[in-house]
Amino acid sequence: MNLTLSERQHAVGTRFDELFGAELRPELRRMGSRDLGAGAAAPLDEAEVAARQAVWQTLCDLGGLRRAPTDPRPGLSGAPGDPGGGAGDDPRSGPGSGPGRDPRGGPGGAPGGPDRESGGPRPAAAEDGLRLAEQILVAERIGAALYQSPWADTALAIEIAAAAGRDDLAARMAAGEPVAVAARRYAADEPDRPGALDPAGGLRATRQFVAFAPDAHWFLVAGTAGGDTRLVLVPGDHAGVSWRRHDDIGRGDFYEVTFDDVPPGALVELGAGAEAAELWAAALVNARIRHAAQLVGAAQAALDETVAYTRERRQFGQPVGNFQAPAFRMADLATRLHAARLLVSLAAWQADEGHDARLTGYQALATAADLARAAGTEAVQLHGAVGMTEENDAQLFYRRAAVDALLWGRPTELRRRAAALLAQAYRD
Amino acid sequence: MRFSFTEEQEAFRRQVREFLAEDRVRKAADAVRHLPPRAEPGLLDIYRWLGEKRWLAVNWPHEYGGLGGTIVEKSILTEELIRARVPDLVHIVSVDIVGLVLLLVGTERQKRTYLPALAAGEQSASVLYSEPGVGSDLAALRTRAEPDGDGWRLYGRKIYSLKSQFADFALCAARTTDSDVRFHGITLFLVPMRTPGVLTQPIWNMSDEQFCDVTLDGIRLTRDHVLGEVDGGWQVINEVLPVERTGLEFQAKARRLLDEVLARAARDGRLDDPAYQQRLVELDAAATAAHLMAWQVISDLRDGRLDGVTTAMSKLFATELFKRISEYALETGGLDATLSGWDSADTAGGRREAAHREGPGITLSAGTSEIMRYLVASTGLRLLT
């Protein structure tokens, strides 16, 4: 075991520090924000669009979406419903696991080669692709900056395109063609069960909670038609595509998108049937691990802001942070953060090593989601009334966490899925 | 980051596991489980057998009875002992706490005198820190070492000590010098326990491990009994305390208990029941995290780093988790889980009942949860300064 960041991971983190660092952070955190009730009509400020584009392009130029060559279906080593994994005779000794079951990522022992306790072989350069273990470091920084962008959706689309044999499209996306994932028919839907697609003729569908529709070069539409899963790319600028902006508590950039009879000739099919269902499920595993890291980053930033503020803010003649009641709550958050971060790292490692990362992935995201909400809530409470004011970031963390904690599945649903895997493992 | 063990480490784990599965070991471990109430395990034959293989103190140098391994092998051994339900407390106190202090600050002569017997499983040691009125605020201790010729005589009372009734010697903190700076003037002594002048009595508590009340009535000690510098004990205590706080054994105990709860819940359907499964999954995620937190500390220690903040987090998280699991073990098990191993209707060795009695002690010993939070808040977040 070596649970400190490898040189490679460290190098990747550092590479993105400037973009998401203290200087740009205030701007990034507010980017895409709209007034309450501004609704569909809220126009995008031109200067903001330019800034947003510049940040996006920098992120892509730094290699933020470049993938290291891996198993095309990294998240899922077994068939759906199969607890998967393990050749290990007793998986309790398995990686980072302890206990006896396989869904936590299969057998122990480093796959191949003599063990080097020192991390990666050499630092990463921008032209190197990122493994999931490095992607989560980018995600943490994105989360800390509350930077809303098509990064998460595009990363998912790249994995699906590559797995579908469309490396050409994957490369274009990685170079900066943003993708918006369109899976939910209704906002209340879970991403695991994409909405219905009308199979007759052209593509007819409505999707809610689609991020960054106006920026999208592609929409990745996931849906089911007659029980079959379909994954389709739709050009963002097609005349049959229209949208209106949601007015959600995060006041970010989510849209309801309508696809009105987009002809088959304009679509790029990435998969259909059982294969597409598997692709989608596998891609969700990795997307959830990245999102968990993003939530950990947001929770860390919310805590950092709160610690900094309570060290300055004086009441009863001393800094508020000198009192144990608030200090202990921040200590508990810091401890939960440490725990969640390690859980996310384990999930990423399992996925990178080709183990079944589903159980840890569900648990990591559910843990991170609960934590991000708690950190947002505590941030406002420990800031006091000033934390509720529009110009203070505490309320921003609180509102964004409300959306982000649900975006890739309700924690309750994630735990339901995890329970099924656990039950299977403990019955074996 | 790498979340797997090396092949050598895996091989070591397998060997330990094979040994612990041997007939003689199972019989010895079972015998402990069938001890009458208020009898508790001391030095076990199992420790001696481990000592013969040089595994009991596997991370110690060869000349003191170890194998020259690292804290990683030691931690693997601890995890496996706990997993196999071999009582580990005497081993931990003797080897991992007292033995470690000896290794860190002992003279060559002290090491040769004390360590081999500990490593062989032939002697055990305990710790005498707490006193009536002195718990977390250890620097307020009142046990006195009064000058007596070229040595001292020790007077005082130590309480809430574990396994002192079995100990051959104990690590004892006493005041040698009154000082305005209260952290100065404390000295660590190695006190022979089987001598007149040391009286050990039980204080019965709700857990399976009794507390000891140790009266030190003028036992004579010399420079040979001093560990480290005279008056410089506080530094040593602070250096060693974090090593007790890796959280490793606590997370291993939490995992062992949760495995039992999950296996039962998988059998009786509660793991499929939405009313129960949410919490069970949450506890399982936390147990995995606790495992990682402990191993993060271990891998730091192996590399020569000691981070007081992540150790405090690990100890806090694992011990609080154990209590939550023990509570939920009762919730999922119902009244059946409250039956002790001595009830004829009990079918599960009374383990959930025993765990629930054990829980409160582990968030108190080796630094309370509140002290851990204090360390995280002050050293980690630079609050409370």
Tens-place pLDDT, residues A366-425: 999 999 999 999 999 999 999 999 999 999 999 999 999 999 999 999 999 999 999 999
Q: Which residues contact A363 (CB under 8 A, 6 or more apart)?
A: A343, A347, A414, A415, A418, B281, B284, B285, B288
**Residue in chain B lying closest to A108 (CA):** B4
Q: Do A423 and B272 touch (CB under 8 A)?
A: yes
For residues A292, A207, A398, A414, the Cα torsion angle rounded to the nearest 10 degrees is -40
Q: Do A363 and B288 touch (CB under 8 A)?
A: yes
Q: Do A415 and B277 touch (CB under 8 A)?
A: yes
Span A159-177, average pLDDT: 97
pLDDT score of A100 more than 90: no
Instruction: Pick from A335, A356, A365 the residue to mutate for testing the B interface (most B CBs within 10 Å).
Output: A335
Name the least confident of A105-109, B190-194, B228-232, B268-272: A105-109
pLDDT score of B131 more than 60: yes
pLDDT score of A251 more than 50: yes
pTM summary value: 0.93
Minimum distance, in Å, between the CA of residue B250 and any CA atom of chain A = 13
Q: Do A343 and B289 touch (CB under 8 A)?
A: yes
Please check whether residue B219 is in contact with residue B198, taking contact to mean a CB–CB distance below 8 angstroms: yes
Q: Do B259 and A119 touch (CB under 8 A)?
A: no
The mean pLDDT value of chain A amounts to 87
Name the least confident of A91-100, A308-317, B218-227: A91-100
A360 touches chain B (CB under 8 A): yes
Instruction: Pick from B314, B381, B382 the residue to mutate for testing the A interface (most A CBs within 10 Å).
Output: B381
A148 touches chain B (CB under 8 A): no
Q: Do B13 and A1 touch (CB under 8 A)?
A: no
Q: Which of B1, B263, B266 sits opposite A345 (nearest CB)?
A: B1
Q: How many CB pairs under 8 A join A and B?
A: 209
Selection from A88, A107, A98, A100 nearest residue A425 by Cα: A100
Q: Do B313 and A334 touch (CB under 8 A)?
A: yes
- Which chain A residues touch B285 with a CB distance below 8 Å? 343, 363-364, 366-367, 418
A6 touches chain B (CB under 8 A): yes
The mean pLDDT value of chain B amounts to 95
> ipTM beyond 0.90?
yes
- Which chain B residues touch A92 with a CB distance below 8 Å? 83
Give the C-alpha separation, B383 to A71, whole Å.
46
Minimum distance, in Å, between the CA of residue B98 and any CA atom of chain A = 26
A344 touches chain B (CB under 8 A): no
Q: Do B288 and A343 touch (CB under 8 A)?
A: yes
Span B172-184, average pLDDT: 94
Q: What digits encode the pLDDT tens for the residues A12-53?
A: 999 999 999 989 999 899 887 778 877 666 667 788 889 999
Supply the DSSP string of A136-157, one letter for each residue. Answer: HHHHHHHHHTT---THHHHHHH
Q: Which of A324, A334, A338 sits opposite B384 (nearest CB)?
A: A324
Q: What digits encode the pLDDT tens for the residues B8-51?
A: 999 999 999 999 999 999 999 999 888 888 888 889 999 999 99
Minimum distance, in Å, between the CA of residue A92 and any CA atom of chain B = 10
Q: Do A339 and B286 touch (CB under 8 A)?
A: yes
Q: What digits encode the pLDDT tens for the residues A49-70?
A: 899 999 999 999 999 999 987 6
